[in-house]
Structure 1
Amino acid sequence: MLKDALFHVIKVTPLGLPEANFSLNIADEVPISLNFNEIFPYGVMMMTPDHLEDFAYGFCLTEEIIQSAEQIRSVAITHTDDGLAVDITIAGNCLTALLRRRPRAQIGHTSCGICGSEAVPSVEMTKDCALPLAHTITIDALRRALNDLDAWQKLNAVTRMVHAAAWADADGHIQMIREDVGRHTALDKLIGARLRDGLTTQNGVCLLTSRYSFEMALKTLRAGIAIVAAVSAPTYRAYKLAEKMNQTLVAIARRDRQIVFCGGERIIQ
């Protein structure tokens, strides 16, 4: 994989103190163009330029372009004049279905998951199959994962400006993390990493450093994630979707306090 700088060091000056300039790490934000089967340019995402293979798999799954990892034949990454290109080859039936869609109307910004899409699905129009109550997590395990989250955020430690999506097992031990300037791209990278490795997204918890907005709920549900803990609050639309789909949502999740919004049956003492 091509490796580009994830952050840059710049000189800054405190307001009113022109002689006190100092160095500051700033995370990069790079245009990543997505192309399918060398014939269909899908759009451009603004994101952190690492773990792009993971992103390709996660994005294709959560955008319902594929249903399984085997439907992606290859992922190639190349430099462009201003950014990177991710060329994804998918199975013929997936490409046929994709070509029937209208492409996004604009660039996918770092703050925007479904912005530019032709239509936004309503809570009532999402898939009918609610998540089963097959797995649980203890309060102690959930708090252990939240307590350890900061230590896993390596890029954020040097920039203090990126989001993270992490996966912890049922015992609360974090197993992997993906970071990005965009919250939804960090989540796609995490989902894609697990998909590529053939790992389940059911028995454990997904940790998010961002708010739980509607597109984040859609992505976790499409990946079959039953338990989510978000550092910030959910939007009402995201909460109603999580509730409808029987997802366990813990939000405003800090070290000293966590709030169960729905799906509390999966959380045990």
Structure 2
Amino acid sequence: MPIIAAMLNVDALQTLKPLNTAADEEVATEVPVALTVNGISQAVMLATPADLEEFALGFGLAEGWFTSRRDLLDIEVQPQPQGLELALTVTAACDQRLKARRRTLAGRTGCGLCGVDSLAELAAVRPQPVLPPRLAGDALDRALAALPAAQVLNARCGGLHGAAWCQADGELLLAREDIGRHNALDKLTGALARRDADTRGGFVLMSSRASYELVHKTAMAGIGLLACMSAPSSLAIATARGLGLELWAFVRAGRATRYA
């Protein structure tokens, strides 16, 4: 499922000249990304155009579109006047599931439950309870210290969230970035799914606050612990407790607060 960057003519960062200075600066790119499945529109998100194949896979798994990465047969990136289209080809069984449960999202980088039509739909995709890993005593500190170096794009321009996959001892193995925290996590879980990674023994570290969506996406990926650098919401805490997912927030050097 190759993606050829030259086809896109869109980079993850753009060089612009601010109005009050003569110096050029790099800023994060934000473009509408439409996801279609077998020709039918399913979602439109605002995202940074990098790691799009992993984003599509991770998003589809989190939304319950796919039961595994093997449901996704192909991705074609199609530039459009307004943004980019990710044209997904899926198995016949997956296509039938989606037709039975059609959902259209209007995504935003800071969105909550965008496009959910009813409260019943909110509970339609329910993660299985997950078992948290047993962390080493300094695991969160070690992962936190490694995150800045893993956020290559953010180091150049700022404004990008990071999602990192870490071992139980805190070693950071993989990271993805996006202007939207949800997208960054989708890219990370998509990358893990492509690698058939065993997600039971590690945890996710996010540079953002802990929202319900991040808890849900983490659990859907079979990961038992989410750590975030900023505050949690009440729904994130309640969801994590209901799923048995371990939730840490306000992760700083030398301190962290456990909420679930």
TM-score (norm 2): 0.91
Are 2:43 and 1:37 aligned?
A: no
Offset of residue 21 of structure 1: 4.2
Offset of residue 129 of structure 1: 4.3
Are 2:11 and 1:11 aligned?
A: no
Whole-Å Cα distance in 2 between the matches of residues 118 and 160 of structure 1?
Answer: 34
1:122-175 CA-partner distances (Å, limit 9, x unpaired): 998874842235x31112122101111111111110111011111011221111
Are 2:62 and 1:75 aligned?
A: no
Structure 2: segments with no counterpart, 5+ residues: none
Whole-Å Cα distance in 2 between the matches of residues 137 and 121 of structure 1?
Answer: 35
SS of the residue corresponding to residue 54 of structure 1 reads helix
User: Which residue of 2 is the match for residue 144 of structure 1?
Assistant: 142
1:53-97 CA-partner distances (Å, limit 9, x unpaired): 101110110000111111111112121222211111112122112
Whole-Å Cα distance in 1 between the matches of residues 120 and 232 of structure 2?
Answer: 17
Whole-Å Cα distance in 2 between the matches of residues 215 and 121 of structure 1?
Answer: 16
Whole-Å Cα distance in 1 between the matches of residues 112 and 13 of structure 2?
Answer: 22
Whole-Å Cα distance in 1 between the matches of residues 257 and 41 of structure 2?
Answer: 42
User: Which residue of 2 is the match for residue 28 of structure 1?
Assistant: 29
SS of the residue corresponding to residue 15 of structure 2 reads strand
SS of the residue corresponding to residue 212 of structure 1 reads coil
User: Which residue of 2 is the match for residue 216 of structure 1?
Assistant: 214
Whole-Å Cα distance in 2 between the matches of residues 76 and 125 of structure 1?
Answer: 28
Whole-Å Cα distance in 1 between the matches of residues 138 and 127 of structure 2?
Answer: 32
SS of the residue corresponding to residue 177 of structure 1 reads strand
1:20-47 CA-partner distances (Å, limit 9, x unpaired): 5433221110111111112x11121110
2:149 counterpart letter in structure 1: A
1:25 counterpart letter in structure 2: E
Query: Does the C-alpha gap of structure 1 residues 129 and 79 become closer, same or farther in structure 2, counting only changes over 3 Å?
Result: closer
User: How large is the Cα RMSD of the aligned pairs?
Assistant: 2.0
Q: Is the 8 A contact 2:130 2:244 kept in 1?
A: yes
* Structure with bigger gyration radius: 1
User: Which residue of 2 is the match for residue 2 of structure 1?
Assistant: 4
Pairs within 5 Å for 1:108-257: 108-112=107-111, 114-120=113-119, 127=126, 129-132=128-131, 135-257=133-255
Query: Does the C-alpha gap of structure 1 residues 79 and 100 become closer, same or farther in structure 2, counting only changes over 3 Å?
Result: same
Query: Does the C-alpha gap of structure 1 residues 67 and 125 become closer, same or farther in structure 2, counting only changes over 3 Å?
Result: closer
Whole-Å Cα distance in 2 between the matches of residues 171 and 234 of structure 1?
Answer: 23
User: Which residue of 2 is the match for residue 266 of structure 1?
Assistant: none
TM-score (norm 1): 0.88
1:6 counterpart letter in structure 2: A
Query: Does the C-alpha gap of structure 1 residues 49 and 128 become closer, same or farther in structure 2, counting only changes over 3 Å?
Result: closer
Q: Is the 8 A contact 2:210 2:228 kept in 1?
A: yes
Whole-Å Cα distance in 1 between the matches of residues 100 and 167 of structure 2?
Answer: 38
Offset of residue 119 of structure 1: 2.8
Query: Does the C-alpha gap of structure 1 residues 121 and 232 become closer, same or farther in structure 2, counting only changes over 3 Å?
Result: farther
1:166 counterpart letter in structure 2: A
SS of the residue corresponding to residue 139 of structure 1 reads coil
Query: Does the C-alpha gap of structure 1 residues 59 and 126 become closer, same or farther in structure 2, counting only changes over 3 Å?
Result: closer
1:174-213 CA-partner distances (Å, limit 9, x unpaired): 1111100111011000000000111022211101011111
2:113 counterpart letter in structure 1: I
SS of the residue corresponding to residue 87 of structure 1 reads strand
Whole-Å Cα distance in 2 between the matches of residues 129 and 69 of structure 1?
Answer: 18
Query: Does the C-alpha gap of structure 1 residues 196 and 128 become closer, same or farther in structure 2, counting only changes over 3 Å?
Result: closer
1:82-127 CA-partner distances (Å, limit 9, x unpaired): 22111111121221121123432x5211112531121356998874
Q: Which deviates the most, 216-225 or 186-195?
A: 216-225
Query: Does the C-alpha gap of structure 1 residues 132 and 257 become closer, same or farther in structure 2, counting only changes over 3 Å?
Result: closer
